[in-house]
Amino acid sequence: MDAFSQVIISAVNQVKNAVVGIDTYARRQGKLKKAGSGSGFVFSSDGLVFTNSHVVQGAEKIMVSLLNENEIEATLVGKDPDTDLAILKIYSDGYSTARLGDASGLQIGQLLIAIGNPMGYQHTVTTGVVSALGRTLRSPSGMLVDNVIQSDAALNPGNSGGPMITTDGEVVGVNTAILSGAQGISFSVAIDTAKEIARQIIQTGTVFRAFLGFQLQEVELNPKLIRHHHLSNRRGLFVTHIEPDSPASRSQVQEGDWIIAFNQKPVNTLSDLFKELASRDVLAAAEISVIRHTELLHFAIFPVVRRPFQ
């Protein structure tokens, strides 16, 4: 067998027993009927499962299918529609636990593997490469999801909530969306974001995250700029769009700026910014530092609480 195939098989074997199928049921005309399906994966030894919020939205009953064909009713622990993530809990055995990796180390062009249940075909494996990192994606709730991985792995309806893994068998993303009408453009919420969402849901049952209103893209900074301004950064966040009537729109930051610091802390990745926005202490005047052309500028910005999902 060729080396490429061996790498894929080895990675899949490490994760496949953690990947689950999800069927949801809702009441119609007084009877529970199947309402949708998706994927998920077990990430803790006590049966916690990651999936997408839109997979379980409106569900009155959630059934989880393991690779050994056992089917268990799951409990919804919590969800965050604004990142399209949800956590379920199952009480069963016969599964393994997926290893959660670190998406900050991904490189454009790196091989990725998706596992899920597209169109009901359980445990389907597809491959692709990282097309872009640090994307901002609009979630089904209409909010902007930061720290999204773009790949060309083939995803289809039913893949939602499944794991995106590396050739080492580590989960680096939760598959969430495809672009309708496009081919080879798929998105996964970075596992770094998912870990923070899980921490908040498990500890408090809710998710707090301040809102700025930027659409951002992680970019490499010009070495000359780094030397000129004595920056510790190697990367920054390129402002591709500013949401109307948002803290960003009321600041002096402009589209085309590169954000390099927030509250005097270097920002290399969207994960860095996400961590700062996960603290309630940020709900006051904050300082945001940007590079505009070649000039280093510092502005005030006033983050707000994200609106509740309707």
Which amino acids are annotated catalytic? Answer: 54, 84, 160
In whole angstroms, give the CA distance from residue 224 to residue 233: 12
DSSP 8-state class, residue 292: E
3-state secondary structure of 110: coil
Q: How many CB atoms lie within 10 A of CB 94?
A: 11
Of 109, 117, 146, the residue nearest 19 (C-alpha): 117
Give kind and range of the element (H or E) at residue 124.
strand 124-138
Sign for the pseudo-dihedral over CA of 263, 146, 148, 162 = positive
In whole angstroms, give the CA distance from residue 264 to residue 256: 20
Q: Is 93 exposed, middle or buried (0-12, 13-18, 19+ CB in 10 A)?
A: exposed
3-state secondary structure of 140: coil
In whole angstroms, give the CA distance from residue 254 to residue 242: 8
In whole angstroms, give the CA distance from residue 64 to residue 123: 13
Listed in sequence order, the residues at least 6 apart from 98 whose beta carbon sits closer than 8 Å to its beta carbon are 15, 18, 19, 41, 42, 43, 163, 165, 171
The answer to whether 257 and 248 have CB atoms below 8 angstroms apart is no
Residue 204, token pair as written in the block? 């408090």
DSSP 8-state class, residue 51: E
